[in-house]
A and B are shown apart, each in its own frame.
Chain A
Amino acid sequence: MSMPTAVIEHLQGDFVAETRPFCFLVARDYTLVDAWGDGGWTNLDNLEVGEDMLDRAPYLLGALAEEPQRLNYISTGSGVVVHLLTIPHGDGHYCVVLDAGQAHDQLRDKQQSANELRLLHASQQKLIARQRDLITELVEAKAELDHHRRDIERGSAGKSRFIAMMSHEFRTPLASIINYADLALEPDSNPAHIKKSIEAIARSSRHLTSLVEAVLDEARLDAGQIQLRERNFDLYVLLDDLAAMMAPLAAEKGLAFATLVDTDVPQSIRADDVCMRQILTNLLGNAVKYTEEGSIRLYVSCHGGNLVATVSDTGPGISIEDQERVFRAFERGESHDESRSGAGLGLTITLHLAQLMNGEISLDSLPGQGCTVSVHVPVSAAEDAEEAQDVLPTPAEDTYATKPTSVLVCDDDEDMLALVEHYLHRAGYGLITASNGTEAIEKTLSYEPDIVLMDVNVPGTNGVDATNSLRERGYNGPIVAMTASELSDDEKRTFTRYFRKPAPMQQLLLEIKNLTH
C-alpha cells in the first residue's frame, strides 16, 4: 500500500526546502545541455548551454558512470557541501546537486569527537608502549649493574685470594730467612754457622725473588695463569736446597727429615724449576707445619717419563671427606688447628702448578696415620744444567778491575749502597756515592767518574732527569740505570745500560768492566 499523496507531497516539500535541489544535464564532454532549478546557492548560476561544467563543478570529473551514482558530502571549496547524484541519460548525465551543509556539520562534529578520542587512545597506547620500553630498559640496566657488581665482587674476592696467597707462599721462606738471621746474630755463632746461615738466607731470598717474579707474571696475564718457564737445571741442587731449607725447620719441631732419590732419576732435567721448587716447598712446608712428632720424608723417583716426588709425614692425616676439600681454595680439613697460620691455599696452588706442568697430584691419607702426597710431572732428561744464578756471589776474577777505575753509585737505599760498595771495593773499583739526583750530578761533574750507576727512583731530581742533565752538561761516560720500576722505551734509551733490581751482581760487575775497560 502506497503512502497517501498528501503525506508524500509534504515530505517532498520538506526535502526540497532542506536540500534545495539543482539539476542540470551534461554531455559526455561535460558541456552543459540544460539546467533546472536555482543553483545560485552552490555557485551554479548564470549557466550557459555549451559551457564546460568542469570549470564550474570540477567534482564532476570521474563522477559520471554507466549507472546512477551518489557521492555524499562533497565540500566544493567555497564552504558549500553537496551531495551529488548522477543519472545516465542518453549521451549524457543528469546531475543533481543537493545541499548537504547542515547534515555535514552535524556529522563532522560527531566524527571530530570520535577521531579526537581515537587520537587520544593512540597517544595513550604509545605512552604505554614507551613505559613498557622504559621498564624493559630499566630491567636490563639493573641486570647490567648486577653483572658489574658481581664482577667487582669477584675482583674483590680475587684480591683477597691474592693477599691470602701472598701470606701463605711468602711465609715459609721468610721464616727461614728470619730464623737463620737470628741464628747468625747469636753471640756464640762461629764463622761456619754464620756462613751456613747466610747461604740459607740467600737460597730463601732467591726463592722469594722467584715468587715475586711469578706473581708479577700472573698479574700481567688476563687469565691469571702463570707462564711456564722451562729450562735445564740440576735437580739434585734443587733437592739439596729444599733439604737445607726444610731440615732446620723440621729439626726445630724435633722431626726427622730425609730426602731419598732413586738412582735412575737424572741429575739434569728440563722443566720449570720455579714451579717445581714451589710445589715441593708447599708440600714440605705443609708437612712440617702439621706434623708434631715423627718424620718427614721426600722420595723422588721416575716412572714412565714422569718425575714422581712423594712427601710423606706422620702428622694427623686427612679424613676421606676432607681430602677433596683441602684442594679447594681457603678450605682446610675439619680437624684443622686454627692456631696454625696460612690461608688454606697451599694445596690449591700446588695442584694448579702441577696441572700447569701437565702433571697431577694424588693424596693418600687416613686420620691418625699421616699423609702421603705424590706429585707426577712429565720431565725430560737434559744434557747439562744451565748455571743457576747466585744472589750473593763472590766476585769472579774476570770481573776485577785491571786499571784504576772510579764508579759513582747513586742510590737512596743505604743497604743497597753498602752492598754495591762491598762488591765494587772487592773487585778493585774506586767508589763515589750519592744519595739523590742533585748530589749525583754535582759529584759526577766534579770527580768525572769512569762510570755512573744510577738508581732511577731517588729523591729530588730523578735518575732519568739527572742523566739527561749530565748529558747536556758534557758528561760522556757510561751511565747504567738500576731500578725496581718499569721504564718506558724512551727512558731506557736515556741510559747506556739498564738493570732491573735485584741485579745479579756478577753480571753487573762484568758489565761495569766491559764499559770501562
Chain B
Amino acid sequence: MTAITSKVCVVGDFAVGKTSVVERYVNNHFSEKYLTTVGVKVDTKEVDLADRGVQNKLIIWDVAGTDRFGDTEFAYLRGAAGHIFVADGTRPLTVGTALQLHKDIEARYGLAASVLLLNKHDLGGAWDVSEQRINDLRTEFGAVFLTSARTGAEVENALACLANLIVDNELAARQ
C-alpha cells in the first residue's frame, strides 16, 4: 500500500459552505449556525483508495472566504496538490467567483487537481443555477458536483474524486 500525504485547499466566496463541507466530510457533522472563518482551518482525513493500493492522507486547508486572493491567501495555497472550489447554488455570482479564483490559482501555481462543488443543493426553491449553466460548467470545469453539506449529498463523492485525481497526478509524476 502506497502512502501519500496531500495538501488540499478549499476556496470560494464567503458563506458558500466551505467549512460546512469540510466539517461534513471530516466529522460527518453539520451545524446550521454560520461561523466566519478567519485565516485558515486545517483538518486531516485519510482516504483509503484500496482498489488503487493507495492510502491518501489529505491535509485540508479551509481558507477564509474571499472573492479575490492577495499575497496572504496565495501563501496559504503554496504546495497544494488539489483544490476544492465551492460555490453557493442559491447565489449565482459565487459560481463566477469560484471560476475566477480557479484561473488566478492556475496562473500563480500552475495546474492542479480540482473539483467544483455547487453547494446548498438541498435548498431547491432558492436554487438559482440552471441545468444549462451546470452543463456548461461540466464542459468547462470537468468535475462538478451538486452538493449539500446539510444532507451530505455528493460530498463524499466529490472528495473521493479529488483524491483520485491527486493520486493520478502523483503516480504520473513518479513515473
Contacts and interface: CB of A to CB of B under 8 A. Distances in A.
A104 B39 contact: yes
Interface stretch (B47-55, B72-80, B131-139, B145-153): B72-80
A118 interface: yes
Contacts of A74: 39-42
A433 to B, nearest CB: 73
A62 interface: yes
Interface in A74-100: 74-77, 81, 100
A100 B38 CA distance: 11
A116 B80 CA distance: 30
Contacts of A107: 38
A54 B37 CA distance: 23
B42 A108 contact: no
Contacts of A100: 39
Nearest to B26: A77
B14 A61 contact: no
Contacts of B34: 115-116, 119
B15 interface: yes
Contacts of A69: 75, 78
Task: Specify the main secondary structure of chain B where it touches its partner.
Answer: loop
Q: How large is the interface on B (under 10, 10 to 19, 20 to 34, 35 or more residues)?
A: 20 to 34
Nearest to B126: A126
Contacts of B37: 75
A160 to B, nearest CB: 48
A58 B38 contact: no
Contact of A61 (B5, B39, B40, B43): B5
B40 A75 contact: yes
Contacts of B65: 115
Contacts of B64: 111
B129 interface: no
A118 B91 CA distance: 12
A73 interface: yes
A108 B36 CA distance: 7
B39 A115 contact: no
Contacts of A119: 15, 34
B79 A115 contact: no
B44 interface: yes
B59 interface: yes
Contact of B43 (A63, A65, A77, A108): A77
B91 A71 contact: no
Contacts, number: 72
Contacts of B35: 108, 112
Contact of A62 (B39, B41, B80): B80
B80 to A, nearest CB: 6
A264 B76 CA distance: 107
A111 to B, nearest CB: 5
A122 interface: yes
Interface in A396-413: none
A40 to B, nearest CB: 19
A126 B92 CA distance: 11
B44 to A, nearest CB: 5
A507 interface: no
A376 to B, nearest CB: 61
Interface in A38-70: 54, 58-59, 61-63, 65, 69-70
Nearest to B35: A112
A107 to B, nearest CB: 5
A61 to B, nearest CB: 5
B42 A59 contact: yes
Contacts of B78: 62-63, 65, 69
A72 interface: yes
Contacts of B5: 54, 61
Interface string B74-90: 01111110000000000
Contacts of B38: 73, 104, 107-108, 111
Given A73-B40, A116-B34, A61 B59 contact: yes
Contacts of A126: 91
Nearest to A100: B39
A77 B27 CA distance: 12
A59 B42 CA distance: 7
Given A58-B59, A62-B79, A63-B78, A115 B42 contact: no
A13 B44 CA distance: 35
A81 B36 CA distance: 14
Contact of B36 (A65, A76, A115): A115
A58 B76 contact: no
Given A61-B7, A65-B78, A108-B35, 19 more contacts: A63-B78, A63-B79, A71-B39, A74-B39, A74-B40, A74-B41, A75-B37, A75-B40, A75-B41, A76-B42, A77-B41, A77-B44, A81-B39, A112-B36, A115-B15, A115-B34, A115-B36, A116-B34, A126-B91
Sort A-B residue pairs by CB-CB distance and give the 4 closest, nearest first: A62-B79, A73-B39, A75-B41, A112-B36
23 contacts: A54-B59, A58-B42, A58-B59, A59-B40, A61-B59, A62-B7, A62-B78, A63-B78, A71-B39, A71-B40, A72-B72, A74-B39, A75-B40, A76-B42, A77-B41, A77-B43, A100-B39, A108-B35, A111-B38, A112-B35, A112-B36, A115-B15, A119-B34
Interface of B: 5, 7, 14-15, 34-44, 59, 61, 64-65, 72, 75-80, 91
